[in-house]
Amino acid sequence: MIDIVYAILIFVFLFVYVWSLYNLPILAAGVRNLRKARPKTNRQSRRSKDLPAFSIIVPVKNEEKVIGRLLEALSKLTYPADRKEVIVVEDGSTDKTLDICTQYAARGGSNIKILRKPLSNGKPSALNHGIMHATGQILAIFDADNVPARDVLLNASRYFEDPAVAAVQGRTLSINSEENMLTKFVSHEEAVWCEAYLRGKDVLNLFVHLKGSCQFIRREVLNKFKGFAEDALSEDMEISARLAESGYKIKYASDVRSWQESPSGLTQLFRQRTRWYRGTMEVAFRYGRLMARPSRLRFDAEATLLGPFILIVSLFNYLSASCMFLVPSFLSAFWQFVLQSSALITTGLVLLCGVALVYSSRPRRLRDVLWLPFVYFYWCLQAFIALYALLLIVLRKPRRWVKTDKKGVIANSRSDLGGLRD
């Protein structure tokens, strides 16, 4: 019995070891590409009639603090009015959200549609309701707290010139990064995730997953899939897995930008990440079949979906290895090597994230590396949240789509937030 337990533990820890080694070159590729990246010059613009038509879908529920800001930003997009439409899906708000949307619709004419959904049962359902009324070739999805850059549609449209591209994920930035220490840290995490990890996957032609907002999908593809899975807590990750399973390409677009609100309190962060991690783990269970027909894309998709599980195991691995540096160990030399080397690889990943942070920040500041000591605390917090999410699955707790409350705070030194500060 003991031998079986040891065999299982060896397999688990070696799997974490391999997973960590696997992701190192992805991050390195992202950092290298980011280091060499140059600002993109304006390419020759196409005639209005040659541009694809966009349907911008915005699901809203009790978003009176932020929805006006988004609708104002959408009205300033540099894209032909006859090639875009805004579809707001009002999902049972009890505040002034509907009134605000109605006022903007009256000013925006036929380009803004307000749909009232009779039954409120989560974002995926609201998105599907909006898709049924969409007419554009490309569906653009923004959360209510977003403030997209003026050129967001124009830049996104260029990626769809490649017929092989089914979806595009833009870069999301924090609109309240300077509100407090937590929002600052989450903004750094977002920068590294987009500009190093997703960029690295895109450079290596691996699995780029959608993030739920500032995302763009061909309507014909989404109709083929019959919309988003309404029982999924992470509908973005679920549709990404379906796209990968069918061999569709998702591109990461660093020049397609939108600002959004970062959680400013631990309670907000805990609820948001619990839903994310539980949703991703459930998608991992559902799409284990990806390896039935192995390919580079499918393998990377499966590795990405296993992220929350690896996070949990690596925490115990890291804590065990740390203890061995402080107290005498009763473990064999082999176990000590496995645990300590895994801990060193984890440390390497964190350091590489620090390098990515320097290059992803604008302007680039070497002092951003001073945030590295806080990475360990934040990483442990994320691991504990992932463990809690796993317990919810094991205990079969009811699945509820919980929205993240927004405050409408703008705390960012950038002056080009969708033209809101002109």
Q: What CATH number is attached to the domain comprising 240?
A: 3.90.550.10
Among 20-34, 80-94, 241-255, the range scoring the smallest mean pLDDT is 20-34
Assigned domain for 32 exists: no
Instruction: Say which residue, 328 or 27, is predicted with more confidence.
Output: 27
Per-residue confidence at 14, pLDDT binned at 50, 70, 90? confident
Assigned domain for 192 exists: no
Q: Which of 65, 76, 75, 105 is nearest to 88 (CA)?
A: 105
Contact by Cβ (8 Å): 168, 253: yes
Assigned domain for 43 exists: no
214-218, 268-272, 299-303, range with greatest mean pLDDT: 214-218
For residue 144, pLDDT beyond 70:
yes
Domain count, the chain: 1
Peptide bond into 363 cis (omega under 30): yes
- The encoded tokens of residue 320 equal 């065990």
Phi and psi at 170, nearest 5°, equal: -85, 175
Please, which residues have CB within 8 angstroms of residue 142's CB and are 6 or more apart in sequence?
56, 57, 58, 70, 74, 148, 213, 214, 258
For residue 162, pLDDT beyond 90:
yes
State the pLDDT at residue 195. Answer: 85
Instruction: Say how far apart CA 268 and CA 405 lie, in whole Å.
Output: 7
Assigned domain for 158 exists: yes
Range of the domain at 80: 51-187+207-263
Assigned domain for 105 exists: yes
State the pLDDT at residue 278. Answer: 96
Assigned domain for 402 exists: no
Q: Across residues 240-267, what is the average pLDDT? A: 95
Give the mean pLDDT of the chain.
84
State the pLDDT at residue 358. Answer: 56
Instruction: Say how far apart CA 283 and CA 240 lie, in whole Å.
Output: 10
Assigned domain for 118 exists: yes
State the pLDDT at residue 410. Answer: 87
For residue 76, pLDDT beyond 60:
yes
Instruction: Say which residue, 41 or 100, is predicted with more confidence.
Output: 100
pTM of the shown model? 0.86
Instruction: Say how far apart CA 246 and CA 44 lie, in whole Å.
Output: 33
Instruction: Say how far apart CA 278 and CA 272 lie, in whole Å.
Output: 10
Instruction: Say how far apart CA 2 and CA 6 lie, in whole Å.
Output: 6
Among 12-21, 64-73, 134-143, the range scoring the smallest mean pLDDT is 12-21
Q: Which of 104, 45, 115, 110 is nearest to 75 (CA)?
A: 104
For residue 24, pLDDT beyond 90:
no
